[in-house]
Structure 1
Amino acid sequence: MIELQDIKKGFADKEILKGVSAVMESGKVNLIIGASGSGKTVMMKCIVGLMGVGSGKILYDNQDFTAMDDKEKKVVRQEIGMLFQGSALFDSMTVEQNVMFPLDMFGKGTLRDKKKRVAECLERVQLMEAAKKFPAEISGGMKKRVGIARAIVLNPKYLFCDEPNSGLDPQTSLLIDKLITELTKEYNITTVINTHDMNTVMESGDHIVYMYQGQKQWEGSNKDIIFSKDQKLNDFIFASEFLREAKEMRQLDIFKDNKWRDQLKNKEGNASGK
């Protein structure tokens, strides 16, 4: 898992993150959501080490990442996969070469071993037929799947996705969400997604952190979010009349789940000290 302990970050005289603490759990899709300027992008960049923190700690499986030297951080980074918003593929490389790039960078195995691993990853994202094509020859959704294949080629323990559905049509977005969720469960990865996509929130959000003006305003699951009484969260998630009506329908569906109702009663009992 990844644990954030009282993370603060600012630029000049502006404080961006104001003491954020959260846990990103293994085997779950962990979402960071919030309006533009809420601090979620800075938060993800701090977690992966693209930015240093002002104060606080970031722990990877109880190891203090913020206190590591460059050599130690490199070891952790070999266990991190990253899916960028624009896929970030190399135009001059084929799909196969793009997926192989992390293996070449970290010197993982012989050429035969590398090709075998690349083939496994491309098969998992159903892109074997595109192995010899260049990025300009494939669709946006296929580029995202290539990005996912590249992100998992090193068998990462941690997977970070920055707006994985950006620029995709609704049907392709669903496929990408499903693929990321399946990989998270299959390999017990700690997946962290920075997203504005409400379908991702409602369908994939095992654990959700809602950021508001640099602070953690709310956290819970996609089922918890349906019954949340946090007004700021509700204004952000259910902004339209259509979504408010959809929320009411989802409430009815979830409330029929006896197991979830028992869990809710236990949470309420613990909160009240009973």
Structure 2
Amino acid sequence: MIKLENIRKSFGEKVVLQDVTAEMEAGKTNLIIGASGSGKTVLMKCMVGLVKPDSGRVLYNGQDFTAMNDKEKKGIRQEIGMLFQGSALFDSMTVEQNVMFPLDMFSMGNYKEKQKRVAECLDRVNLSDAAKKFPAEISGGMKKRVGIARAIVLNPKYLFCDEPNSGLDPQTSLVIDKLISELTKEFNITTVINTHDMNTVMESGDHIIYMYQGLKQWEGTNKEIVFAKDEKLNDFIFASEFLRDAKEMRQMEMFQDQNWRSKLPANKKEDPGTGA
């Protein structure tokens, strides 16, 4: 797992993160949500080492990532897969070459071994037929799947996704959400997703952190979020009348489910500070 302990970060006089403590669990889709300027992007950058927190610790399976030198951090980074918002594929490389790029950087295997691993990953994201194509020759959804194949080619323990559904139509977004969720569970990956997509929140949110003005305002699951009493969270998630109606329908469906009702904590109280 990845554990955050009292993460604080400021840029000049602007406080971006205030004592954020949380755990990102293995085998689960961990979401960070929040409005623009809430601190969620900076929080993810602190987790992967692109930004150093002013105080606090980021622990990877108990190892203090923030205290490591560059050489020590390299070992952790080799266990990290990244899916970028714009896919970030190399236009001059084929799909196959793009997926092979991390293997060329970090793997000691020969070309045939690398080619075999690339083929396995492309097959897993249903892109075997696109191996020889260039990024300009494939759709936006296919580019995202190439990005996922590249992110998992090194068998990462940790997968970070920045707005994986950005620019995609709703149907393609569902495909990407399902694929990431399946890979997370299949390989027991600690997946962290930065997203504004409410479908991702409701369908894939095994563990959700809602950021508000640098604070962890609420924490829970996609089922618990339907019954959350936190006003700021509800204003963000269920902003439109349509979504408020959808929330009420989901609540009714879940109350009719006897199995779910038995799991709902009867006396769970929300913390005034975090809404959790």
Work out the CA distance in 1 between the residues paired with 2:90 and 2:265: 51
Work out the CA distance in 2 between the residues paired with 1:266 and 1:260: 12
Work out the CA distance in 2 between the residues paired with 1:108 and 1:53: 33
The residue aligned with 2:274 is none
Work out the CA distance in 1 between the residues paired with 2:206 and 2:179: 15
The residue aligned with 1:213 is 213
Amino acid at match of 1:172: T
The residue aligned with 1:127 is 127
The residue aligned with 2:241 is 241
Work out the CA distance in 1 between the residues paired with 2:270 and 2:245: 30
Amino acid at match of 1:82: M
SS in 2 for 1:268: coil
Work out the CA distance in 1 between the residues paired with 2:138 and 2:150: 16
Amino acid at match of 2:141: G
Gaps of at least 5 residues in structure 1 are none
1:150/1:232 CA distance change after superposition, 3 Å: same
- In the TM superposition, what are the counterparts of 1:1-274 in structure 2 within 5 Å? 1-265=1-265, 268=268
Q: CA RMSD in A?
A: 1.3
- Normalised by the size of structure 2, how large is the TM-score? 0.96
CA deviation profile, 1:158-200 (whole Å, cap 9, x unmatched) = 0000000000001000000000000001000000000000000
Q: CA deviation at 1:270?
A: 11
SS in 2 for 1:56: strand
Structure 1 range deviating more: 256-265 or 244-253: 256-265
Amino acid at match of 2:70: D
Work out the CA distance in 1 between the residues paired with 2:264 and 2:22: 21
Q: CA deviation at 1:107?
A: 2.8
CA deviation profile, 1:117-173 (whole Å, cap 9, x unmatched) = 000000000001000000011000000000000000000000000000000001000
Percent identity among equivalent residues?
76
Contact 1:95 1:135 in 2 (8 A): yes
Contact 1:108 1:114 in 2 (8 A): no
Q: CA deviation at 1:252?
A: 1.1
Contact 1:9 1:16 in 2 (8 A): yes
- Normalised by the size of structure 1, how large is the TM-score? 0.97
